[in-house]
Amino acid sequence: MQVHETLGRGLIEGVSRVIGCKVEVVQRLRAAPAVDRDVPAVQHQADLAGDVDTVAKRGVVLLDRADKVAAARASVAAAQANISRLRGPARSTQLDVAAAGISQAQASRAQVAAPAREVDLTVARVSIDAAKVALDQATLDRDQATLAAPITGTVARIDLDVGALTGPTSTAVVLADLSSWRIETENLTELEVVKLREGQVVDVTFDALPDVSLPGTVTQIKPIGTNRQGDIVYTVVVALQKEDARLRWNMTAVVTATQ
């Protein structure tokens, strides 16, 4: 848009060009032959300058409105892109997967909530009975493979070899009760046994410990004698009243009656 105003010898040209959203105002004053300037001409020139300023302000308003329109169009485009993303194939796939999960959960819930069928209960009872039988058999196998000690003691000897055959009458383990010792005679003749009685105090010495003499008490005299190389001998059991840590099984001991 161009505005031309002629004043006396002067020409003021106001050009307002809208380029896109930008407004440019150009003012030029071209020289003219000198003429007398009177008051009306000056007033008219001032009015023209005011019009040009108004056009410039309107251009600024148009620029601001154009920026707002562009921002609004950008917001609309972003919203449309967001809608497309939410309605796109990827979103549809996620919704399908979620729907399948919900259907499966509902089916599982319905199965759990449904009353048990009699055939299912029967199958469960049979499984329980079979498990009990298997447990009983495993317990029996364990018990048969376990050696139970008849007393509390220390394993003194093992008579089993790995891989060797054994029978029900074979000795597996020899246990020793090391908390107390007892002496058994093996050559007490019938002439000597009549001199002893149960409860009698005796002294016990040992070939391996010549400096040791321990008191003992006769706890048992076996009533039946055995034949040993033509002599009848009796077994007398003596319990030690004191002990020595150096004592071992099958050591040779001598029992002497003190009373």
**Hey, what CATH topology would domain 180-257 get?**
Elongation Factor Tu (Ef-tu); domain 3 (2.40.30)
Give the rounded percent of residues in the chain with a pLDDT score beyond 90.
23
Name the band, by pLDDT with cuts 50, 70 and 90, for residue 9: very low
Q: What is the largest CA-CA distance in the chain?
A: 183
pLDDT at 135 over 80: yes
How would you classify the pairing of strands 236-240 and 201-206?
Answer: unpaired
DSSP for 3-70 reads: EEEEETTEEEEEEEEEETTEEEEEEEEE--------HHHHHHHHHHHHHHHHHHHHHHHHHHHHHHHH
Name the band, by pLDDT with cuts 50, 70 and 90, for residue 198: very high
- Over residues 230-238, the mean pLDDT reads 91
Rounded CA gap, 5 and 214, in Å? Answer: 151
Name the band, by pLDDT with cuts 50, 70 and 90, for residue 68: confident
Rounded CA gap, 107 and 120, in Å? Answer: 18
**pTM of the entire predicted model:** 0.41
Which of 10-19, 34-43, 134-143, 244-253 ranks highest by mean pLDDT?
A: 134-143
Six-digit token pair at 73? 């169009």
pLDDT at 90: 62
pLDDT at 17: 40
pLDDT at 116: 74
H-run or E-run covering 188? strand 188-189
* Sequence ranges of the domains in the chain: 2-82, 115-146, 152-178, 180-257
pLDDT at 106: 83
Provide the 3-class DSSP secondary structure of residue 92.
helix
